[in-house]
Structures are given as structure tokens and as C-alpha cells.
Amino acid sequence: MKKKSLIYLVIFSLIFMLVGCNKEEKVTTKENYLLDTLIQLKVYGKNSEKATNEAMDAISDIDDIMSPTKPTSDVVKINNSAGKDFVKINENTLEVIKTSIKYSKLSKGNFDITVGPLVKLWGIGTENARVPSKEEIDAALKLINYENVLIDEENKSVKLKSPKEAVNLGGIAKGFAGDKAREILENKGIKSAYLNLGGNIVTIGNKTDGTPWNIGIQDPLSDRGEYFGIVRVSNKSVVSSGNYERFFIKDNKRYHHILNTKTGYPSESGILSSTIISNKSIDGDALSTITFILGLEKSMEIIENIDGVDAIFVTTDKKVHTTSNIAKDFKLSSKEYIYEER
């Protein structure tokens, strides 16, 4: 399963090709499989090799503490102590949990890191993927409540209020890792870089020829590597969530991995793909999931009211919608879709 995912991600990364990087400058590229996805770093500058190694090491450290399966991770420790004790955790894990709760409040619980029992039940993206019974789903839903994540700021500790509850940081950890990698690279003097964390894109500055990065956005109705449009960005994060990422098919019905915490089933909001352009990738990670679940109208309202954040949505009627500030930097490239002016 992981080998197949790795192949898909290599193909997927081709849609984010770097256009016009002809200027002679030292470049370092590095790949690794972390956070359950392919990580690709492409960094320009005289200090690029050392900086890239440090950035990848930081991503590896985040994988170690936020993994849902590694026995020594903060996440596993929290889940194993659910309903019992506070667990002292790394300050990075604490920051991610606090940010997650902020977005849980913003989305009224549609984004909720205590979705762990539901994620495990469906098993989407694993060899154990299946359609659970209604009784199983109802039981899992009773365990989802971000308000049951108790935080002791002074001691940097976290506790889940009730037994069997479980956190899962899969919807936000990649974004945090991308931000940390960018911070390290910038502190090392890097002015131009392109980071791809399994489809979460983080850019530093412009391309080496001084022009913005051109980021292709995956077509949710086509094969991996096919894109419906291009967005031009500088020093931004571009994160997409869609029904094409991880899924399985049962009785001719597709079940994707973005679960609605209110219904217990894969989200059906009328949005096929949600792309968030933001300064911080952790924000894009959370907001791409939230908007995918909430649907077009609520999502447009939310994003239009957050400074420095924009969005591109694809709906089931094959229309593409953009928030006002990004429209000038987006180009529709597929004839299969209609750009809807707002």
C-alpha cells in the first residue's frame, strides 16, 4: 500500500514543476518518506545542502512525535492515557493541538482532532478499509469532542477526558512541518525554495529568475498529475484537500478519507476539491479540510474574512470558484471546467 502511494505521489509531484528556473545557482534536492507521505525539498543557494538536511531532520522529528502509530510518539502516549493521566508532550505537539482546537471552534467542530476513533474505524488508506455499520459509526461519534482535550499549559501536558477517545493530527501535522522546514531554511539564509509535503506546497520567495512559482492544482476528476488550473504565488503555502487523495470503492461507491465528524461518513458537501493559499501551511492544512466539509457558501464566507488567506474550490457541477484576492493570480487550464465569476 505504501509503495503504491509513493508511486502516486512521485507522479503527483510532476504537476508542481518549477517553471523558468534557468539561472545558475546551487540547488539541493532531498526526498524521504515521512508523515505517511513523500516529502520532497528543492532548495536554492550556497548554503542549500546543510539547510536542506536540517529541514528534513526537523520534519523527521515531527513525524516521530506526531505519528499515530509510533509507540513513543506524543499522540500514542496521549491516546494510551485517555481518561487517566495528563501526558507531558513536546512543545511542537502542544502548539499543533492548540491550533487544532482554535480551528475546531472556528468550524464548530467540523474540524476535530479527536476524530481518531472514526479514522481507525474506516481504515481508509490502509489495507483494512471498510464501510462500518451504523452502530459502529454512532459509537465512534460519541467519542469525538474537541472540548475533551484538556491542556495544562504550565506543565506542557495534555489529557483526553474520557477512555477510548483518541487524537489524530493527520489533518494538520504536514502543514506544521512545512512551516518548520521553511523557518529553518529562511534562518539559514535561503531565499528560494520549493517544498512538497505530499501535495502540501510551501514556497520561499520566488523562483531563481525572480518570477513567482506556478503551482498546478490537481484535477479531482482526472488521474494523478492532471491539473485543472495554475495559481501563481510567492512565499506562500498551497494546500489542497479532495476526494481523490485516499479512498476505496465498495459496491461502485467511492469512500474518501475526509470524514464528516457530524455524520461519521465521508463528507458530501458539493465540493470536490478545496485549495487554500495562505502564509502559514498549518492554516492551509486545517482550512482545506474545513472548507471541503462545510461546502461552498459557508467556506467562501469564512475565507473572505480571514486576512492573508485565499481559496480555490471545485464543485460537483464542474465549476471553479475563487475568493476575490486570488482571482488575478489563477488561470483555468482545463476545458472540462467553467470559471464562475462572483
Binding-site residue ranges for Mg(2+): 171, 285, 289
Strands (E), 79-218: 87-88, 149-152, 157-160, 192-197, 200-204, 213-218
Query: Which region, left, alpha or beta, applies to residue 3 given φ > 0 means left and ψ of -120 to 50 means alpha?
Result: alpha
Contact (Cβ atoms closer than 8 angstroms) between residue 180 and residue 92:
yes
Handedness of CA 232, 237, 243, 246 (dihedral sign): positive
Burial 141-168 (b: 16+ CB within 10 A, else e): bebbbbebbebeeeeebbbbeeeebbbb
Residues making up the binding site? 171, 285, 289
Which is nearest to 202 in space by CA: 180, 224, 173?
A: 180
